[in-house]
Structure 1
Amino acid sequence: MNTGTKITAFAVVLAASFGTAYGLGAALDPVRAPAAGANAPGAAHAHDDTAGEASAAPPAGGLAVSEAGYTLELLTPRIASDRPAELRFLIRDADGGPLTSYRRTHEKELHLILASRDLTGYRHLHPVRAADGTWSTAVSLPRAGDYRVFADFTPAVEGSRNLTLGTDLSVAGDYRPATPAPASRTATVDGYTVTLGGSLRPGAERELRLTVAKDGREVTDLQPYLGAYGHLVALRAGDLAYLHVHPGGGDTAPGPDVSFDATAPSAGTYRLYFDFRHKGTVRTAAFTVTTGPGDGHDDADGGGTGGHGH
């Protein structure tokens, strides 16, 4: 759900609340967050099969190319850095044919996330599906390296649940690993300051609260983007597991606060991407979060540099 980003980071993520599979992200309904058990969608969103299941800890999503009879086939396995390219892929069903029927979640049939292994590159894209089931999207990645491609979708088949499939993309060019982003509680992007509040603990649900300000003043007129005031994408350090986050309950307002309920599945380092829209532009604020026994903090530590997400 956003425009291009540049993010200093090393492998990360924020672990979040879970459903049938870990997913990456969550979204807040512009008027009211979904109640437990209510339908709510995928990447950077809460999924319709996850609400009210924060105590579950299923296998992480995005680590497998196939699940539940569906397979992600990347038709463009490699591109060149810093050049416009078309990324093409298919979702195949158990019979090997292309899936052509999807359930729309947050206004889209499928959400596509690209993240570099060192997390210096991040994109949230919404590709277009052709009649034959082939998906395509324009993309330009300024940094070379190994990327993980996540497809977050729900088949429009009775009894189907939300799925997050992952595969690798090679981006050719001069690759130089980035310096890990330090942990801090604020991120800045285009003059906006986003502050991370709340706590993150392994095995226990906690509230994460993102507060948006511009030029020292709280922003109270955030605009809905894909049906939400805020979207949270989370990836775990090391394996880039795609994780679920629940939107905070109750009535929601257009800022300055956007809240999510999250559970870290283990001690470690996580990367969290928060997408928000203001004055017609979608921006991404990124944080590095480290948590674990004896870390001495009651609140989550955030850090990193935000950039335009897309």
Structure 2
Amino acid sequence: MRTAAKLGSYALGLAVVFGGALGVGRMITPTAAGTTTAADTRTGDDQAAGHAGDDHATGHTGAEHATQQPVTSDTPGGLQVSQNGYTLNPITSITTGVPTDFRFTVIGPEGRAVTDYQVEHDKKLHFIVASRDLTSFQHVHPDLAADGTWSVRLTLPKAGAYKAFADFVPKGGEKLTLGADLQAAGDYRPEPLPHVSRTAAVDDYTVNLAGDLVPGRAGKLTLTINKDGEPVTDLQPYLGAYGHLVALRAGDLAYLHVHPEKSDKAGPEITFYAEAPSRGDYRLFLDFQHEGKVRTAAFTATATLSDGHAPSATHDHTH
């Protein structure tokens, strides 16, 4: 009996120790403000409905924002609606094919709309909207009101799912790219990803791509612009450079970090360094300005380990 009693007491003690450890573990488990929760995965229309009654003049969208603590994240840009205490907050819903005065705010760690931004590439904020099938792409620059509300004229050309990206640097903070889902109602018919290509055509221009995306490190990409078969050597500055490149990963639309190489030459070559987080297919969108008009050339590229072989050069869609 004494032995049984001792064993019972020992088992009870273990239960208390492990139970207490589990409780402590739950108490000290950190919650990342940048982690996407179930509430964060709502579509743009759902988010707009959920925030319709918020006080946008003050920027308050809930007590949870006031308690968020900034954290760092290695997650590729654009995959999270919230990161480091900042949240992309769409306000307006969109009707398919109809121009809409789209409005949104960026809510800061203290629960208020951010009103102070650093200028980067000539703008305080870059707003990118791409369809989930990556066949539609828009790079626009909204206007900022005194209360922190951004607004821009926006048209979603076809029904389906879209991703909106806000690329910005809050005053005194680090560069962020936040992403939110938008929905355009109607008969959704996704298109296949365009074939991998080294050449893209837009209007009378042909753009050739040299270089490769390499997983895990920056890959050098050089784009050469020709018009009617002749090199373009008088490109006009756009966003502080002679070209602006956006790269999105197919499937989840991760937003790649792309760095332009400084150059005083106005073409025909523009060089960038793009950091691919993984293997797979990516869609590249080059904005360049010539003769007073901004044009976009689009490519599909595959990130693989460097082996010296280039992807097959099949002609891409015209944009």
- TM-score, with length taken from structure 1: 0.75
Which one of the candidate residues 132, 142, 158 is aligned to 1:143?
158
For 2:69, the equivalent position in structure 1 comes to none
Counterparts in 2 of 1:203 and 1:220: CA distance versus 1, 3 Å: same
Query: For residue 122 of structure 1, what is the amino acid of its counterpart?
Result: F
1:298 is displaced (CA, Å) by: 4.4
Which one of the candidate residues 205, 215, 219 is aligned to 1:192?
205
Query: For residue 270 of structure 2, what is the amino acid of its counterpart?
Result: V
Q: How far apart in 2 are the matches of 1:280 and 1:119? A: 26
Structure 2, unmatched stretches of 5+, are 1-72
Which one of the candidate residues 243, 261, 267 is aligned to 1:248?
261
Q: Deviations over 1:203-251 (max 9, x none)?
A: 24331100000000000000001211011000011110111012225x3
For 1:169, the equivalent position in structure 2 comes to 182
Counterparts in 2 of 1:303 and 1:231: CA distance versus 1, 3 Å: farther
Counterparts in 2 of 1:72 and 1:166: CA distance versus 1, 3 Å: same
Q: How far apart in 2 are the matches of 1:247 and 1:178? A: 30
SS of corresponding position for 2:94 = strand
Which one of the candidate residues 81, 88, 103 is aligned to 1:65?
81
Conservation of the 8 A alpha-carbon contact between 2:197 and 2:311: no
For 1:13, the equivalent position in structure 2 comes to none
Instruction: Pick which of 143-152 and 260-269 moved more.
Output: 260-269
Which one of the candidate residues 115, 126, 133 is aligned to 2:148?
133
1:84 is displaced (CA, Å) by: 1.1
1:174 is displaced (CA, Å) by: 2.3
Q: How far apart in 1 are the matches of 2:258 and 2:241? A: 14
Q: Deviations over 1:118-177 (max 9, x none)?
A: 1121110100111111111001121111111111111112xx111111111111122211
Conservation of the 8 A alpha-carbon contact between 1:213 and 1:256: yes
Counterparts in 2 of 1:70 and 1:303: CA distance versus 1, 3 Å: farther
Q: How far apart in 2 are the matches of 1:286 and 1:303? A: 11
For 2:127, the equivalent position in structure 1 comes to 112
> Would you say 1:304 and 2:279 are equivalent positions?
no
Conservation of the 8 A alpha-carbon contact between 1:218 and 1:256: yes
For 1:179, the equivalent position in structure 2 comes to 192
Q: How far apart in 1 are the matches of 2:165 and 2:282? A: 17
Counterparts in 2 of 1:208 and 1:303: CA distance versus 1, 3 Å: farther
> Would you say 1:278 and 2:294 are equivalent positions?
no
Counterparts in 2 of 1:82 and 1:254: CA distance versus 1, 3 Å: same
Query: For residue 233 of structure 2, what is the amino acid of its counterpart?
Result: T
Query: For residue 305 of structure 1, what is the amino acid of its counterpart?
Result: H
> Would you say 1:99 and 2:111 are equivalent positions?
no
Which is greater in Rg?
2
1:296 is displaced (CA, Å) by: 6.8
Counterparts in 2 of 1:302 and 1:221: CA distance versus 1, 3 Å: farther
Q: How far apart in 2 are the matches of 1:289 and 1:258? A: 17
Query: For residue 297 of structure 1, what is the amino acid of its counterpart?
Result: H
1:92 is displaced (CA, Å) by: 0.9
Conservation of the 8 A alpha-carbon contact between 1:79 and 1:171: yes
Q: Deviations over 1:9-43 (max 9, x none)?
A: xxxxxxxxxxxxxxxxxxxxxxxxxxxxxxxxxxx
Q: How far apart in 2 are the matches of 1:204 and 1:165? A: 22
Q: Larger helix proportion, structure 1 or 2?
A: 2
1:295 is displaced (CA, Å) by: 7.3
For 2:63, the equivalent position in structure 1 comes to none
Aligned residues: 247
Q: Deviations over 1:71-123 (max 9, x none)?
A: 111001x3121111111101111121111111111111111000110112111
Counterparts in 2 of 1:302 and 1:273: CA distance versus 1, 3 Å: farther
- Relative contact order (alpha carbons < 8 A, sep ≥ 6): 1 or 2 greater? 1
Counterparts in 2 of 1:294 and 1:165: CA distance versus 1, 3 Å: closer
Q: How far apart in 2 are the matches of 1:176 and 1:112? A: 25
Counterparts in 2 of 1:229 and 1:259: CA distance versus 1, 3 Å: same
Q: How far apart in 2 are the matches of 1:164 and 1:264? A: 15
> Would you say 1:88 and 2:103 are equivalent positions?
yes
SS of corresponding position for 1:161 = coil
Q: How far apart in 1 are the matches of 2:119 and 2:318? A: 28
For 1:38, the equivalent position in structure 2 comes to none
1:265 is displaced (CA, Å) by: 2.1
Conservation of the 8 A alpha-carbon contact between 1:207 and 1:262: yes
Q: How far apart in 2 are the matches of 1:110 and 1:300? A: 36
Query: For residue 202 of structure 1, what is the amino acid of its counterpart?
Result: P
Which one of the candidate residues 232, 235, 239 is aligned to 2:245?
232
Structure 1, unmatched stretches of 5+, are 1-56
Counterparts in 2 of 1:130 and 1:294: CA distance versus 1, 3 Å: closer
1:301 is displaced (CA, Å) by: 6.3
Query: For residue 67 of structure 1, what is the amino acid of its counterpart?
Result: Q
Name the % identity. Answer: 55
For 1:28, the equivalent position in structure 2 comes to none
